Each structure stands twice: as C-alpha cells, then as structure tokens.
Amino acid sequence: MKHLSEYRNFEATKKYLDEIHKITTKEWNIMEICGGQTHSLVKNGILELLPEKVRMIHGPGCPVCVTPLNLIDKAIELLEKGVIVCSFGDMIRVPGSKKSLLEAKAVGGDLRILYSPLEAVSIAKENPDKEVVFFAVGFETTAPANALSVLHAEKEGLNNYSILASHVLVPPAMEAILDDKLCTIDAFLGAGHVCAIMGMQEYYPLVEKYKIPIVITGFEPLDLVQGIYMAVKQLEEGIYKLENQYARVVKEHGNTAAIKVINTIFEVGAREWRGIGEIPNSGYVIKEAYRKYDAEAKFNISHIKVPENPNCIAGEILRGIKKPNQCDQFGKACKPANPLGAPMVSSEGACAAYYHFSTHLTE
Ligand code: SF4
C-alpha cells in the first residue's frame, strides 16, 4: 500500500539506524510525544536497535491516558441518570473511581460505542425523548469532528444533544514537561497527526524559548527512525530548530478548514490532565455561545471530583520521569484484563505497549 509499505521498508529503516549509530557521541534523551509513536517504537523493536546513548522517553500523547478520572465518573453519573452516553471504544474499559463505563453498561446504563460523534447526533435525532451525550475526549486531532457534531446538532435544531468534552492541547503539555525540575529531555519528536490539523506555527516559539530541537514525526518505523536521526543530528551539531519529517502529511498552516470549525465551538482554557493536574491554557472549553451543548453545564456535574489511584504512577510516566516497567504494579496487580490505570487499557498507552510487545525491556 502506497505511503505504508515504503515506510515499513527494512533496508531504508536500517540505513537511518546505521547513521544514528555513526553520529551519536553523547547521551541524549528524546521524547516521542504521541502514544501511537510509543507503540510503533516498542512493537517494531526500535528501542533495542538504537545506540545505548539514545534513550527514548515516552510522552503524554495518549488521549485516553490523560483524561482525568473524574471525567469518567461524570460519564457514569450521566448513564445512571438515564442519559444515552456515546463513546469511542477505547474509553469504555478505563477504570473510574468505582467502575468503568463498561461495568456501568453491564448494570443497565445505555452506553453506545461509536466510530464518529456524528453517529451520536443521529441517535439524538432518532430519540427525541432521551438526552444523548458524546464523550468527546482527545487532543487537537479529534476536536474538529466533535466541534462539527455540535454544528450538526444546531443545524438539526436538536436540544437533546451535548458533549462531555475534555480536549487537551500538545504545546502547553510540552511546556509543562520542560518546566518540570525533573525534566531531562534534550529533544522532541512532535506528534505528526496533531500537526496535520494544527500545522507547525505553534512549535517555533517552543524551540526558541527552550532552545530545544523539535522534529515533527510520523508513525511508521522509517518515519520514527528518520525523525530520531534528525533530532540526534541537531543535538550533535549543537543546533536547535523545528523540522518536519512528516512533510507528506503536515503542512505549515495545517488544516485551516478544521481549525476554523474548532475555533467556532471551542476556546482555549485550563484543563486537568490525569496524574498531572490542571495546566493553564492546555485544552479546549466550549464557548459561551454554545454552552447549551456542554454536558457538564447542562447536567450540573462539574462538581464531581475524585482522587487518582495512589498505586498508579501514570502521571510520572506521562511526564517521562518513569517508564511503565518501573511501576510496582506493572504486570502484577495491573494488567490489560485488570487495569489500575488508563495507560494499561488504551491502544496508545505506554503501559499496554510494554505489556504486549516488550516484556524484555528491563531498563
Ligand atoms: S502499570 Fe498500571 S498502575 Fe502502573 S502506571 Fe501503568 S496503568 Fe498505572
């Protein structure tokens, strides 16, 4: 398949791996932002093929993992109120403070698992006597479709549709990580799909402020190894700039139509990140003009706050301070079938990646 098989080509990937070995003279810590990149690195054995001096740190870019525990409890509260709650499949097994959405469904909650928020709008249209809420989580990548669902509901004149939104943004999370006293990161691989929407503009100020290389990178083995090579080359040369490895998808100004839809419904505001806490200006909140589509306001559930599981160190893993196999619960009390935290459930979670693909990683 074009744009897939050539980026999984062993010979081309090996060439970049050999170049990384040739040019590396010092120890470097490089964070890949996105959980999809983490899975690809672990699944394809790339971590073991890099020089020992090049250490990959897994970043916070798993939307399910960073969704705070209390948001899951809010969705469960809605199910218990008789609301039809619609969600992508990856959220349903994430533990809340007492149960998961799937367990709430098992005791009678009307949970629908969908592929698109627009399906939730159709469900609202078909069920005028029921309230329908879409569980709208994710980074900048899912925000356009969720915003579009609100515009569709408005166009249809639906008063029984709203979204339980927790959209987080990548650049403020990168700043929070870099401002952390414990941060040891020398360079970033930027999340290619986020930049496909948002473009490159937000990253130049980060490069300048922190004097750190950022390479916007894709997800296939060749993408990742080329992105790592570009980052190591900058570090070894003592320079810092924004580079775009994923130029076949990412354009300078991103997807302007998608950005326009986002900006119609959302504005930037404070957001809570699981295990990290609230980061100012780190997410999207629904604009006042569209407040009637905000499920938190509509159902008065904003007050629900619950502490994170003290045995789960997801916050440290999401900030790149620890790796999954440094968690005492990893593979013991916490497994995909019985997860203590979101990173063990999500298809982009670092703990799940280590559990499924990398039991030999002991570092
Ligand atoms: S292994 Fe489980 S308990 Fe430990 S950080 Fe990962 S999800 Fe949390």
Q: Tell me the domain boundaries of the chain.
A: 65-169+255-298
The crossing angle, in degrees rounded to 10, of helices 221-237 and 10-23 is 20
Atom of ligand 1 nearest to the CA of 314: 5
Calculate the average pLDDT of the chain.
93
* Fold (topology level) of 65-169+255-298: Rossmann fold (3.40.50)
Q: Is 314 in the pocket of ligand 1 (CB under 6 A)?
A: yes
Q: Which two tokens stand for residue 83?
A: 């609301």
Top pLDDT among 178 and 358 is at: 178
309 CA → ligand 1 middle, Å: 10
Q: Is 315 in the pocket of ligand 1 (CB under 6 A)?
A: no
Tell me, what's the pLDDT at 338? 86
Q: What mean pLDDT do residues 61-68 have?
A: 87
Question: What spatial distance separates the first Cα and last Cα of the chain, rounded to whole Å?
Answer: 35
What DSSP state is assigned to residue 4? Answer: T
Question: Mutation test of ligand 1: which of 327, 356, 358, 359 has the most ligand atoms closer than 8 Å to its C-beta?
Answer: 327
Q: Is 312 in the pocket of ligand 1 (CB under 6 A)?
A: yes
5-54 per-position pLDDT tens digit: 788 888 889 999 999 999 999 999 999 999 999 999 999 999 999 999 99
314 CA → ligand 1 middle, Å: 6
Name the band, by pLDDT with cuts 50, 70 and 90, for residue 2.
Answer: low
**Residue holding tokens 């029984």?**
160
pTM summary value: 0.90
**In 123-141, which positions are buried (b, 16+ CB within 10 angstroms) versus exposed (e)?**
bbbeeeeebbbbbbbbbbb
Name the band, by pLDDT with cuts 50, 70 and 90, for residue 268.
Answer: very high
- pLDDT surpassing 60 at residue 362: no
Nearest CA to ligand 1 atom 3: 312
238-250 per-position pLDDT tens digit: 999 999 999 999 9
184-198 per-position pLDDT tens digit: 999 999 999 999 999
Tell me, what's the pLDDT at 62? 86
Tell me, what's the pLDDT at 363? 44
